[in-house]
Amino acid sequence: MLKLLKKIVSSRVGLILVGVHLCLVIYAFSGKTPDTLDNPCIEPEQHFAGHSTIAQRTFHWTNESLIFKTVSLLDIPSMVIAAILMIPFGWILNDFCYQATHWIASFWMLFCASVQWLIIGYAIERFYTYRKNLFK
């Protein structure tokens, strides 16, 4: 198991995909200004339909760039897994303030997305190696 994990983490294609994903996420978030809250520990009272908050930035699907939409759609599998793995820790996150909870959740989503891209890159490398050896 550790040998497989080491192969996945050292996958060159996987590391490139993680780097590209990180650059796209940083680019998508760079155009957003953080929400300014009077008290960062109290959840804002205004919630608009279709808005979500990630890392203290508000997003609405119809107003976002194509890059953000594409990255969001490609990250759906990792976001589902991140949400499922976060369920046992929900009671712990309730003790943190609103802003800290969003930053922890955002980091966790980015970590899970990075793992997803490492696995996809490893699978691409394995497929390419298998195909190359098959047609020798």
Residue 133 belongs to some domain of the structure: yes
Is 114 a domain residue? yes
Residue 45 lies in a domain: no
Residue 107 counted as domain residue: yes
pTM over 0.85: no
Give how far the C-alpha of residue 95 lies from the chain's centroid of Cα atoms, to the nearest Å: 23
Residue 73 lies in a domain: no
User: Is residue 121, in this structure, part of any structural domain at all?
Assistant: yes
77-131: pLDDT as tens digits = 999 999 898 888 877 777 777 777 878 888 999 999 999 999 999 999 999 888 8
H runs (alpha helix) in 1-136: 2-9, 12-30, 66-74, 76-86, 90-93, 98-134
53 beta partners: 58
CA-based Rg of the chain, rounded to a whole angstrom? 18
Instruction: Assess if residue 76 is contained within a domain.
Output: no
Task: Give residue 132's pLDDT.
Answer: 78
Q: Is the pLDDT of residue 24 over 80?
A: yes
pLDDT at 114 (0 to 100): 95
Q: Which residues contact 98 (CB under 8 A, 6 or more apart)?
A: 37, 40, 41, 42, 43, 44
Instruction: Print burial letters for 23-43: b (CB count within 10 Å at least 16), e (below 16).
Output: eebeebeeeeeeeeeeeeeee
The residue that leads in pLDDT, 2 or 111, is 111
Residue of 10, 16, 13, 60 whose CA lies nearest to 35:
60
Q: What per-residue confidence (pLDDT) applies to 39?
A: 56
Amino acid at 128: Y
What pLDDT was estimated at residue 30? 81
The reply to whether 88 falls in a domain is no
53: region left, alpha or beta (phi > 0 left; psi from -120 to 50 alpha): beta
User: How many domains is the chain partitioned into structurally?
Assistant: 1
Mean pLDDT confidence for 29-38: 71
Domain range for 116 is: 100-136
Q: What is the pLDDT of residues 40-85, one digit of tens each?
A: 565 655 656 666 777 767 777 787 888 888 998 999 999 999 989 8
